[in-house]
Amino acid sequence: MTSKVTYNGDLRTTCEHLRSGDTFITDAPVDNNGLGQAFSPTDTVATGLGSCMVTMMGIKAKGLEVDLKGATVDIKKHMAAGPRRISKIEAKLVLPSNVSDKNRKILENTALTCPVLYSLHPDIEKVITFHWEL
Q: List average pLDDT for each run of 10 residues in the chain, which is 134 residues long.
A: 97 98 97 95 98 98 97 98 96 97 98 98 98 93
What is the pLDDT, as a whole number, of residue 16? 98
Examine the domain organization and report whether 93 and 60 are in the same domain.
Answer: yes
Examine the domain organization and report whether 81 and 112 are in the same domain.
Answer: yes
Examine the domain organization and report whether 68 and 98 are in the same domain.
Answer: yes
Show the DSSP H helices in the chain as ranges: 41-64, 101-111, 115-119
Number of domains in the chain: 2
Domain that holds residue 18: 3-32
Examine the domain organization and report whether 52 and 118 are in the same domain.
Answer: yes
Examine the domain organization and report whether 49 and 93 are in the same domain.
Answer: yes
Closest C-alpha to 105, from 60, 75, 72: 60
What is the pLDDT, as a whole number, of residue 134? 80
Examine the domain organization and report whether 45 and 110 are in the same domain.
Answer: yes
Examine the domain organization and report whether 61 and 10 are in the same domain.
Answer: no
Please state the pTM of the whole predicted model: 0.94
